[in-house]
Amino acid sequence: MALLATKLDWEHFRHILEDYGLRLYLVTIPITAVSWLVYVLRWWVLLSPLGCEASFGKLVEDSLIGLFYGLFVPTGLAGDAVRALRFGNRRKAKRAAWLSVAVDRVVGLFSVVLLFGVLLLIRSPEWLGLRFSWISWLIIAILGLSLIVIAGGSLFFRDALFIWLSKLRQGRLLQRRVPQWLLAQIERIWDTLQDYSQGRTALGLSVFISILYQLLLTGVYYAAGNVLGIQVAFGDYIWIVALVTLAQILPVTIAGLGVREGLFAFLLGQYGTSPETAVALSLVVFSGTLLFGALGGLLELVNTLTSIE
């Protein structure tokens, strides 16, 4: 972030926030709130095959508190751990909590990669030099179809997949090489994971919800970009936001600061957007996340004070 700061015209940046600040928040905060509810909805759907009747309001609270803690460490894994711990301790279902959060993370990552790949191939911006030969396109098509087959197979041929994994789990090699305590943990995870073998509907619905969430997140940037006068199509925003989302998974900086802003400055710069405008867009949307994280921190403080009393 410090390196990026040296290259910005801070006077221009200040004028952007002064001219558009209030309007930016009026359009971004409502969409951010809706996208956050959709994010929690995905977790709620993934809990249903595990036999966990969860209060949606409590899941929102767990997720907001998880967001608060996740703002202080690289990647969002700390937030995932907090919401799994809170739900698991409250419902006495630790394995289900951790498994649902893990599957939630995988489904979200799969949806982002899927959107990024599809939109990148559709757009294939010239500034990336993506002028593939027919052989390159054939290889990409094969890889894409392979991904679809793997995803579809895991959903529609799950019974055969679980039978194969069951045989592997009971094989002599695994029994001899893996310590007994670890085998016991694998058994427990396996018992919980088998519930998802009957959860085709929940898994498919979670993918749909995840794509909807990513589109809403893109909508936040698109709406703010329109206020700032950024001339970028919604389809281009989809793959740009997806790429930035993937980059933030890397444990480079706290809450993705600097990485996110640098990528937006570079990517939107290819469409003629000034670095100051791109960074303003990124920081305004991130400040909305900070607002919801602060709400999670307030909920955690209230819970702590209540427990002390």
Task: Render pLDDT for 83-98 as a digit per residue (tens, 0 to 9).
Answer: 989 988 887 778 778 8
| Cα 80 to Cα 143: distance, rounded to the nearest angstrom | 30
Which of 207, 246, 238, 218 has the alpha carbon at shortest distance from 41? Answer: 207
Q: Where are the alpha helices (DSSP H) in the chain?
A: 2-5, 10-47, 56-70, 77-91, 94-123, 134-156, 158-169, 172-177, 180-193, 200-228, 234-248, 259-269, 275-308
- CA 112, 23, 268, 10 dihedral sign is negative
Q: Which long-range contacts (CB under 8 A, 24 or more apart) does 65-70 make?
A: 65/296, 65/297, 65/299, 65/300, 65/303, 66/296, 67/289, 67/292, 67/293, 67/296, 68/293, 68/294, 68/296, 68/297, 68/300, 69/296, 70/255, 70/293
Report pLDDT for 107.
Answer: 84
Question: 37, 60 in Cβ contact below 8 A?
Answer: yes
DSSP state of 242: H
Q: Work out the average pLDDT over 46-67.
A: 86
What are the tokens at 39? 């994010």
pLDDT band at 146 (very low <50, low <70, confident <90, very high): low
| Cα 43 to Cα 263: distance, rounded to the nearest angstrom | 29
pLDDT band at 11 (very low <50, low <70, confident <90, very high): confident
pLDDT band at 114 (very low <50, low <70, confident <90, very high): confident
% of the chain at pLDDT higher than 70: 69
Predicted TM-score (pTM) of the model is: 0.77
Q: Work out the average pLDDT over 170-183.
A: 58
Pick the more confident residue, 308 or 127. 308
Task: Please say if the pLDDT value at position 178 is more than 70.
Answer: no
Report pLDDT for 130.
Answer: 44
Report pLDDT for 200.
Answer: 63
Q: Work out the average pLDDT over 251-265.
A: 81
Report pLDDT for 164.
Answer: 53
% of the chain at pLDDT higher than 90: 15
